[in-house]
Structure 1
Amino acid sequence: MTTQGDLPAHWQQLFGGPPAMRLASATAAGGGGGGGEADLAHSGGPWTKASVAAGELRVTTAEGLGKMSAAHEGIAAGTAGLGATAALAAVRESWERRVSAVRDECGSVQGALLNVAREIGEVDVNNKVAFSQLVIKQDADR
């Protein structure tokens, strides 16, 4: 593994100072989280919200497919013999496949995200219980 000091001078000029890592939600060094809290909170929030968004997108795409189907009813009969009718049907079939794939993927992702939210929530609850027991034990030892 190469460290910053092992790089040739011209590479060090390109890369600048040593690399730093921090949580996206954290403020500058020593500060708390972006919301003003010092805790890293992940349960009850982003995973659940992402699951809800995926579910809403699944429903919206399903509704869109229904509207698209209704909008095309009777077009083939009313425009029989026109070249544009076949082209329109091909485009519609292509979009139906794509939107259906998005709908199906959102349904799949929705469940996976919800499972992660549940698992993280269970871990958080277990950690909270373990820490509270530790505090009680420390208070008893004093």
Structure 2
Amino acid sequence: MSTQGDLPSHWQALFGEPPAMRLASAAAPGGGGGGGDADLAHSGGPWTKASAAAGELRVTTAEGLGKMSAAHEGISAGTTGLAATAALAAVRESWERRVAAVRDECGSVQSALLNVAREIGEVDVNNKVAFSQLVLKQGADR
């Protein structure tokens, strides 16, 4: 957008040419669509995909905890008194705490990411409506 003719000459001298700005979905100057590195394009899935990945990781870690528990069933019965059994139990408990913490964090992150996706989607819809109304109003004013 040029300021030529839009501002009085003394204002143009003060401000010069404004920096270019365009929406991600708007056509670039000289043709072509948006989508370049400088465009803001946050909707369309990245937050939802990240939420789904966190959910999948939560499920996978929960399954891993179950498999770990099943794999250690009955170990202590046949190896009572061995130092290796106590060491294995300590290591297993440590890993179970860590994996459970990852599982729980993934659940927390999953819901937070999904909330962001919803909020951004609502903002995008509201902005699209506002821009559409602005375009209609400008068209009616001409």
Task: Give your verdict on TM over 0.5.
Answer: yes
Shorter-chain-normalised TM-score: which range?
0.7 to 0.9
Please report the TM-score for the alignment, with normalisation by the length of structure 2: 0.73
TM-superposed deviation, 1:44: 2.7
What one-letter code is carried by the residue in structure 2 that aligns with 1:47? W
Structure with bigger gyration radius: 2
Query: Structure 1 CA distance, aligned partners of 2:106 and 2:34?
Result: 29
Is the alpha carbon distance of 1:69 and 1:124 closer, same or farther for their aligned partners in structure 2, counting shifts above 3 Å? same
| Residues 43-58 of structure 1: pairs in structure 2 closer than 5 A | 43-58=43-58
What one-letter code is carried by the residue in structure 2 that aligns with 1:43? S
Query: Structure 2 CA distance, aligned partners of 1:35 and 1:73?
Result: 54
Query: Structure 2 CA distance, aligned partners of 1:102 and 1:35?
Result: 35
Preserved CA contact (<8 Å) 1:54 1:110:
yes
1:68-118 CA-partner distances (Å, limit 9, x unpaired) = 000000000011111100000000000000000000000001000100000
Query: Structure 2 CA distance, aligned partners of 1:136 and 1:124?
Result: 18
1:79 aligns with 2:79: yes
Higher RCO structure (Cα 8 Å, ≥6 apart): 1
Instruction: Look up the match of 2:14.
Output: none
Is the alpha carbon distance of 1:128 and 1:37 closer, same or farther for their aligned partners in structure 2, counting shifts above 3 Å? farther
Q: Which structure 2 segments of 5+ residues have no match?
A: 1-28
Preserved CA contact (<8 Å) 2:35 2:41:
no
Query: Structure 1 CA distance, aligned partners of 2:109 and 2:96?
Result: 20
1:113 aligns with 2:101: no
What one-letter code is carried by the residue in structure 1 that aligns with 2:84? A
Preserved CA contact (<8 Å) 1:33 1:39:
no
Instruction: Look up the match of 1:124.
Output: 124
Is the alpha carbon distance of 1:35 and 1:138 closer, same or farther for their aligned partners in structure 2, counting shifts above 3 Å? closer
TM-superposed deviation, 1:36: 4.7
- What count of residue pairs does the alignment treat as equivalent? 112
Question: Identity of counterpart residues, as a percentage?
Answer: 91
